[in-house]
Chains A and B, each alone.
Chain A
Amino acid sequence: MSLISVRDLDIRFRTDEGLITAVEDVSFDIAPGEVLGLVGESGSGKSVTAKSLMRLNGDNTVYGPKSSIRLTVDGKGIDVLALKRPRDMAPVRGGAISMIFQEPMASFAPALTVGKQMVEQLMIHTDMTKAQAKAHSIDMLDRVGIPAPDRRFDQYAFEFSGGMRQRAMIAMALSTSPKLLIADEPTTALDVTIQAQVIDLMKDLVTEFGMGILFITHDLGVIAQTADRVAVMYLGKIIETGTVRQVIRDPRHPYTKGLIDALPKLEDLDAPLTPVPGDIPSPLNRPSGCVFHTRCAIARPGHCDRVPPAPRSTGQGHRVACHYAEGLPVEEPA
């Protein structure tokens, strides 16, 4: 039974230049205790997808008529996209789903103590008393490895160092015991040494709380060390999905291969760094056919620029949206 089930998600934004497609035809599931890594370049639609799970996108968002996001909590199904009033969304936002952001300094209110912010959300989402909420918050700060949590509770976010702030953010996000945690580039702003600590902490917490995690990052190394399954996004589409081992060891989509080749590897210092040629196209003029064909080395003119590839299975749970996922055709088209 999956915790959240996203089907045929289409997201468009109304702008002065007309409707812009940000996400197209995205489907995925996350089971309890599972970590799904969402990888892609900036502008690929990772954050928009994640925010839609909590309906955090702006008022100019248009969801496709067939799109559905179904959240299952304690045996009850919630159709997230059908929620109308902000009041109905409260159990979803911060209750069943919590989110941690890339920049922890920007996510804490600077004029309130960290403790006050933690207690505030517990008062909204649980029926704890203020004293219980405080005790629980201090306990959570302690669990994420913050020394002297009772003293830290009364401090402001600027008094925390970068790694501490991210830990406090995690403590806060987990204190309401969410079923699903969305982590949007949680380690990108941190040093490698601190990143390693935060990754370890998150893994321990998954084991302990058994929640599902949607882990968004552009760093394939971080994905390899944290996720169970991976979905690679490009221009609003999931172009490859599978288990971490399938996708990283045997990438079938040329874009996934390109991302892995572009990564500097410590094992082989002589390997040339191969960039993915060109830039991600503007969402204002999405390429026809396969969205990747403008940058693809194996694209066949007349085919890839006309026919959008349907996701096809190349092994258990490994799905790839490329015409040539099983290999290139033998005869060379003229």
Chain B
Amino acid sequence: MTDPLISARDLTVSYPLGRSFLGEKHVLNAVDGVSLDIYRGQFFGLVGESGSGKTTLGRALLKAAPITAGNVVYRDEERGFDVQSIKGSDLKDYRKRAQLIFQDPYAALSPRMTVRDIIAEPLEVMKLTRNRKETDERVREIAAKCRLNLEHLRRFPHAFSGGQRQRISIARALVSGPRFVVADESVAALDVSIQADVLNLLKQIQRDMGIGFLFISHDLSVVAHVCDQVAVMYLGQLVETAPTRALFARPRHPYTSALLSAIPSLDPDAPKTAEKLEGEIPSPAAPPPGCKFHTRCRFAQDLCRRKVPALRELAPGHKAACHFAEEFDFTRAAAAPVPA
């Protein structure tokens, strides 16, 4: 792998919360100093609980959420952009190259448009084709890739099931020929029997078209199956990032380990999870001092309450932000089976 497709450094997205009566400004850091690299053709997974800032991070990379600080560099074989300051015609060009697939296929498709018009809309809005014939050709080509036939293109979304609708959403996101795609909880609304089908389709598209994917999900077992690299997010920060296998074999952050052990096992006789996360994710408006995870961490020491742990490399490509990442083996008590 050469240069990253998307490279974020200390990316921060904050929203104002008003002022206190002394005029002090309150801000909420939805994304708080995140650095990550996504390469061409990579399936990059982003996991975390609701409220951890996954969606905001994905949107900031697409310039769909305001970037408060830090920078994001996009570079493909033709163009490169500084995403945080991109404007005008460059922004239009970036929209063509970076796309988003939404979570809910029932809400994302207009009920009044035919499937053909839904898929063709980005081409028409971005004026990527010269005439209707060319548009139709592109639509048919991408529809075939997403396993939709000509008969499907004439119908309206209500005639389709959840899995088929998600394939329509995917076709629309891919029609402009993007190099980078953010898939935000794209299988969360689907039944398991269909979920596997959509995941396999996304994987095939990634291989065939060499697209870099940011795959946002709360489901670790799905991420484990499709992603090459995984980042775990907690309260706006990355707490651990590693190649998928390394992460699942030996999580180096207690939060990752707790997330893993919370997945209900298919084995009714699986040993009861020794490790339970108590409580819930604190409000991002008032994050705890020191390590943000210390309020729920069973390994927390005095140091954790005072000092913010740095995200540091522990093994090639494996980074974690825990004071005790080197000392403790967090998997010891974990009930989740460890892959070989």
Contacts and interface: CB of A to CB of B under 8 A. Distances in A.
Contact of A196 (B164, B194, B244, B273): B273
A163 B279 CA distance: 9
A192 interface: yes
Interface stretch (A54-62, A122-130, A256-264, A326-334): A256-264
B192 A262 contact: yes
Interface residues of B, number: 46
Nearest to A221: B264
16 contacts: A41-B192, A41-B193, A192-B259, A197-B277, A199-B264, A218-B192, A221-B265, A259-B193, A263-B221, A266-B224, A266-B336, A269-B225, A272-B200, A273-B196, A276-B193, A279-B161
B49 interface: yes
A42 B105 CA distance: 14
Contacts of B273: 196
Nearest to A277: B197
Interface of B: 49-50, 161-164, 191-197, 199-200, 218-222, 224-225, 244-245, 248, 258-260, 262-270, 273, 276-278, 280-281, 336-337, 339
Nearest to A162: B50
A224 B244 contact: no
Contacts of A199: 264
B197 A275 contact: yes
Contacts of A222: 264
Contacts of A219: 192, 264
A265 B197 contact: no
A212 B260 CA distance: 30
Contacts, number: 127
A83 B277 CA distance: 45
Contacts of B221: 263-266
Contacts of A197: 276-278
Interface residues of A, number: 43
A273 B225 contact: yes
User: Which of B162, B225, B248, B260 has the most chain A CB atoms closer than 10 A to its own CB?
Assistant: B225
A185 B280 CA distance: 20
A290 B51 CA distance: 45
User: Which of B193, B280, B281 has the most chain A CB atoms closer than 10 A to its own CB?
Assistant: B193
Contacts of A265: 221, 266
A269 B248 contact: yes
Contacts of B219: 192, 264
